[in-house]
Structures are given as structure tokens and as C-alpha cells.
Structure 1
Amino acid sequence: MTLLENVLLNYSDELIAILDREIPIGNYIPLDLSESNGNLNILDITDPYVCQEYIDKVLNNKPSMVAYGGYLERRNLYSKSPGFANRGEGERNIHLGMDFWAKAGTKVITPLGGVVDSFKNNDVSGDYGPTIILRHELGGIQFYTLYGHLSIVSLQGLYKNKEFRAGQVLATLGDTAINVNYAPHLHFQIIQDLGDNKGDYPGVCTQKDLDIYQKNCPDPNLLLKITPPFIG
């Protein structure tokens, strides 16, 4: 375990909410969007409305309000987006963050205190749409959290180094038109070294680059503790 992974794991023993606190954690359900999910074989999961129908079916089966998962999941979800196509280096289809699929307008909560590093509307189809990156320091280690697929109003009033406390409302989820062709959800990613990126960072990688990105983007569940073995 790296120093950052250890810091994240030991930040809290409690579950940490990242969406509206009025949604009980018991109303979260795991969602498998991997290429190995046979239920997706007959669906065009790249169509946001088909994807939403499938997510609604999963949510209604429980019933639940939030579907989550996706860290290091290999997906067919990006196969029709030009930015993810095979360009001789392999297809970008391995997801580096954790997704929380919920209704547009759902509040996004900061899981720990930090300041705004950068923000941007990544409005190319298949990208994040409105995106916020916060900078944090714990145990002497600086790192970042990325929040993608937000509403456009989430970027209003932001400025570099604006402070957000743990548990404060950061943003709201965007709809399909705003988050550039995805069903409404939050993409949450932890990044140790942001490099020269501003308001953006790869959320999906190729198999060839997986080792590099996995080391730089640890499992968000180490911090949130929503799924086993971290759930209490």
C-alpha cells in the first residue's frame, strides 16, 4: 500500500457520503457496467438513454436511489466516442474513477476539506462536461479529487483556492445534454500527481498504461468505504 493509499484508508473509519446526505447509504446499490456483464451484450450501452433505462432497471429491482461502482472496470461504454478509439496504442476502456449514477440535480458533497485547484467545462462529446478539481493535503501528502459530469451552474462562483469544508455541497449533477452524452452521474477520481492538467485529467486508460494510472489514481473506496471490505 502506498503512502497516499494508507492516508486515505485511515482518514476515517466511517462511511463518507459524496451525494446528498438525505439519500441513505442503504439506498446505494452496486452497478456492473463492465464488458463481462452479459446483460449488456444486447444493449447499445453507448446510447445514454439505453444506459439510463438499464440503470433504472437495476435501481428499481432493489429499489434504490444511487447505483455505484466502476473502479478499474473495463467497459464498452466508450466505444463510439472518438477520443477513446484505438489509435495504435490500444482502446481506452479501463475506468479510473468511481461512478455514482443518480438523478440530474442531485447534490454532490465534498468528502474531505480542500480548495479549488481548477475547473472547466470539458464539453466535447464523451468527455466530463463541467468538471471541478479540488486540492487536498493529508499527512503531509498533497493530492487531488476530480468531480465530473456536473451541472453548468456548478462552475459559477468558483475561483482558484476557494475553500470547501468536508461535507459541504460542492455541485449538482448535470443532465445528459450538459454532461456530453452520458446518463446523469458523478465521476469521482483521486489523483496523486495532476501534472500540468487544469480542470481535466484522464478518467479512462488503455491496458498498456494501466499500471501508471492505477498507481497515480488509487481506489476512491479507500476514502469513502462504501463497498466491502470497507463497509461497516
Structure 2
Amino acid sequence: MNSFEELLFSQEDCYVIDKNLHYKHYVPIDLSVNSKTLIHRKLETSQDYEIFLDDYLNQKGARVAYGGYLEKRNLYQRSTIFNNSNTEQRNIHIGLDLWTKAETPVLAALDGVIHSFQNNSSHGDYGPTIILKHTLNNCEFYTLYGHLTLESIALLKINQSFKKGDEIAQLGKSNVNGDYAPHLHFQIIKDIEGFRGDYPGVCSEKDLIKYKNNCPNPTLLLKI
């Protein structure tokens, strides 16, 4: 690990959704292009995915399905944001997804302030999104929380402060969260590159090294 990754790993007791959902209630899930779990499933709509995920969690006796960091997925082919004739296809996920029920509380991973927020409302995008700015050992970095409710961003203010574990939002339903089954997209970002209320959460093969370096694995912080 590099020094920044070691800094993340040194943090303890970090949660980004309802702390009552202890990590013992989590189960990994593979949504990659090579997933054996998806091989016999025809999933075209957010409702298809929601039914599939509910079945998966019930089968596993779990309440949260997690995964997706650096996962190459077919999920994004339905959206022109990621798949159009003018740009290279983006299909590699560079955050961590936590799939669970809509309206689940979303928590600040660490002490921080609101850097920015907005509703990224295009089909397949984040929907309502919050970015927090953090400082640890004089190191400044950011965490992104995507696929929230509209109410989550209605009363926020730039530089508003939150303590680690404070509720900052709730998970949105498919009609507001970019048309996905309810989940949190959680991403750690070293250099925000001037973005506000948004930052790429899916990249192309060509840009993978850049984003892998700028967006380390969130499980280093969460210890899942």
C-alpha cells in the first residue's frame, strides 16, 4: 500500500450506510461481464435488477450486497452516458456499490464538510449526489455518495460540516436515482479535478490506470 492507502486503512469503525446493518449482514456480489450469478438472468430494467437483488439477498440471508470496484460490467450499455458512438465505451466501475433497500440512511464515512452536491438526473447517471471534503494528517481528499433521494440534497449548504457516522442522506428509488435498483455508489477521490457535485464513477479501459490511482479501493476504509 502507498501512504494514502495506509492512511485510509488506519481509520477504524467506518460505515457509509445504516450502522445497524453490521458488516456481518453484508454479502459480496459479482455483477461483472463474467459473473456466474448473472449468466442465466435476463436483466433489462431497474425493476429486474431489484427483484434479482432481493432474491440474492434472501438466498444468502443477508441485507446488503456489496462489490464492484474495478468491475467491468454490461450494466452501462443501456445508457448513452457510457455507451455512444462519439466516445470510447466506459464500462469499468471505479467505486463501491452497496445494494440494499431504498430510504436506507447514508452516513458520512469520516469527519468532513460539504464540497458540493447536485442532481445528476440523466438516465444511468448518479441522480442526487453529495461530495464531502475531508482532511486527515494534512491530506485533503473527497468521498462521493451517489443515487440518493432528492430530499437528501434539498437543504444542504456548501461547507456544512458533518461528523463521522452522521446521517447525510437516504438512498433513492429508481425513479430518482438514475434508474437503478436502490444502492449507494461510494467512491474515494484524491484529486477532484475541478468537478462539483459529480465525478466519473465508471471509466474506459484506456483511462483505467489514471482512475485506479486517483480512486483507491473503498474497502481499505470500510474493512468489508
TM-score calculated relative to the size of structure 1: 0.93
1:87 Cα offset (Å)? 3.8
Gaps of at least 5 residues in structure 2 are none
1:149 to 111, 127, 147: 147
Is 1:181 matched up with 2:179? yes
1:78 corresponds, among 37, 54, 76, to 76
Identical-pair percentage: 47
Unaligned 5+ runs, structure 1: 227-232
8 Å contact from structure 2 (residues 15, 109) kept in 1: yes
Q: How far apart in 1 are the matches of 2:96 and 2:44?
A: 18
Shift of 1:25: 1.9
State whether structure 2 residue 183 is matched by structure 1 residue 171. Answer: no
CA contact 1:73–1:95 (8 Å) conserved in 2? yes
Report the Cα distance in structure 1 between the residues aligned to 2:143 and 2:3, rounded to whole angstroms. 16
Give the distance between the partners of 1:135 and 1:203, measured in 2 at CA.
17
Contact preservation (8 Å) 2:30, 2:37: no
Q: Aligned residue for 1:53?
A: 51
TM-score (norm 2): 0.96
Which residue is 1:10 aligned to?
Answer: 10
* CA shift for structure 1 position 41: 3.2
1:9 offset after TM fit, Å?
A: 1.1
Distance 1:142 1:103 in 2: 32
Deviates more, 1:194-203 or 1:39-48: 39-48
Shift of 1:5: 1.1
Counterpart check, 1:194 vs 2:199: no
Q: CA deviation at 1:89?
A: 5.2
- How many Å apart are 1:86 and its aligned residue? 4.7
Cα offset for 1:49?
A: 1.1
Pairing 1:93–2:96 present: no
Contact 2:73 2:91 in 1 (8 A): yes
> What's the secondary structure of 2:72's corresponding residue?
coil
Post-superposition CA distance 1:8-45 (Å, at most 9, x none): 01122x4x222112222211111111110133234343
* 1:59-78 deviation per Cα after TM superposition (whole angstroms, max 9, x unaligned): 00121111111100111110
Partner AA of 1:27 in structure 2? H
Name the CA distance, whole Å, in 2 between partners of 1:189 and 1:18: 11
